[in-house]
């Protein structure tokens, strides 16, 4: 690439909403989006597994693309490995995605905050500590690995009725528990953001971290921390604005060609040693 890229990383398509949101406001930036199909889904893995997966992967991406920022566009990966990755690669600024518990806690009137996430995210004490820090709040957590798989594999083939049924089922459980705010605590769920907002109104307010993450990346880009002259040239091949990289077996599923076209990116496979 002519310019150092911003790297977005997830186990599948879950980080694409963050990538799209950032690109709308920063059209001149080069992007590498990595979907780690080989280790999908991250949500079922523990911290040690994810640290062991992400460390070598980031190292390979640094050697190949020399990114100026790495965005862990996955709540699970962020909670499990962000601290370790920052220690291991101190020269590379990392941006993590965490569930938007703080604004939900500040907005809640019942003190009951719904969080829909992966198994690891729901088990993490971090979200409960955040909720307690901003009031006498309680987390109502529901793990939804089946919804992650649904979005990854059936987003474009499922009927609107099927999608609405799934969304309503989760919301009915949060309503029964008394939640008046809902945090979409897995990046995959942002693809159903409008569905959740429509079905949640008027008694439940839905929160996400899209704008917050984009603003954080922009703040790093403008903070004088990133000087191209002080960093080595990328060894990645050439002159493209965006690259959608996949790990895992060949050939990629046809849906990945759709996503590459949607983003205007070149579709490539990353071979992991």
H-helix segments, the chain? 16-25, 47-65, 75-88, 101-107, 119-123, 125-133, 145-154, 160-176, 193-200, 210-221, 254-263
pLDDT in tens, 60-81: 999 999 999 999 999 999 999 9
61 exposure class (CB count in 10 Å sphere: 0-12, 13-18, 19+)? buried
pLDDT above 60 for 229: no
Report how far residue 222's alpha carbon sits from residue 218's, in angstroms, rounded to the nearest whole number.
6
Q: What is the per-residue pLDDT across 102-139, written as a single tens digit (0 to 9) for each?
A: 999 999 999 999 999 999 999 989 899 989 999 889 99
CA dihedral angle for residue 257, residue 158, residue 117, residue 60, rounded to 10 degrees:
-10
Domain with CATH 3.40.50.1860 in the chain: 6-97+211-269, 101-208
Per-residue model confidence (pLDDT) at position 223: 61
Taking 80 as the threshold, does the pLDDT of residue 199 lie above it? yes
Tens of pLDDT along 252-273? 988 999 999 999 999 999 988 7
Asked if 187 and 15 touch (Cβ cutoff 8 Å), the reply is yes
| C-alpha to C-alpha distance for 218 and 110, rounded to whole angstroms | 34
For the record, the structure tokens of 230 come out as: 């002080």
Q: CATH for 6-97+211-269?
A: 3.40.50.1860
Q: What is the DSSP letter of 234?
A: P
| Segment 216-228 mean pLDDT | 72
Q: Where are the alpha helices (DSSP H) in 177-227?
A: 193-200, 210-221
**Residues with active-site annotation:** 74, 186
Q: What is the pTM of this model?
A: 0.86
Mean pLDDT of 215-226: 79
Q: Which whole number is the average pLDDT over 224-236? A: 41
Q: Which CATH class is domain 101-208?
A: alpha beta
């Amino acid at each position: 690439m002519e310019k150092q890229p911003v790297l977005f990383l997830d186990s599948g398509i879950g980080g694409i909403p963050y990538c799209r949101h950032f690109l709308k406001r920063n059209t001149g930036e080069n992007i590498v989006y990595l979907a780690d199909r080989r280790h999908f889904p991250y949500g079922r893995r523990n911290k040690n597994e994810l640290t062991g997966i992400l460390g070598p992967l980031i190292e390979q991406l640094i050697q190949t693309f020399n990114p100026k920022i790495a965005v862990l566009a996955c709540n699970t990966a962020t909670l499990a490995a962000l601290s370790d990755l920052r220690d291991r690669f101190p020269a590379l600024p990392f941006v993590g995605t965490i569930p938007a518990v703080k604004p939900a806690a500040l907005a809640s009137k019942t003190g009951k905050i719904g969080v829909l996430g992966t198994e690891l995210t729901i088990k993490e004490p971090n979200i409960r500590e955040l909720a307690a820090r901003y009031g006498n709040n309680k987390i109502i957590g529901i793990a939804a690995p089946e919804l992650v798989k649904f979005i990854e594999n059936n987003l474009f083939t499922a009927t609107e009725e099927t999608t609405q049924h799934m969304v309503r089922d989760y919301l009915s459980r949060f309503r029964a528990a008394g939640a008046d705010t809902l945090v979409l605590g897995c990046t995959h769920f942002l693809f159903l953001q409008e569905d959740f907002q429509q079905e949640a109104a008027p008694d439940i307010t839905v929160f996400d971290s899209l704008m917050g993450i984009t603003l954080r990346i922009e703040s790093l880009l403008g903070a004088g921390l990133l000087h191209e002259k002080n960093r080595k040239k990328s060894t990645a091949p050439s002159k493209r604005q965006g690259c959608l990289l996949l790990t895992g077996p060949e050939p990629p599923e046809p849906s990945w060609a759709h996503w590459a076209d949607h983003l205007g990116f070149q579709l490539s496979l990353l071979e992991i040693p």
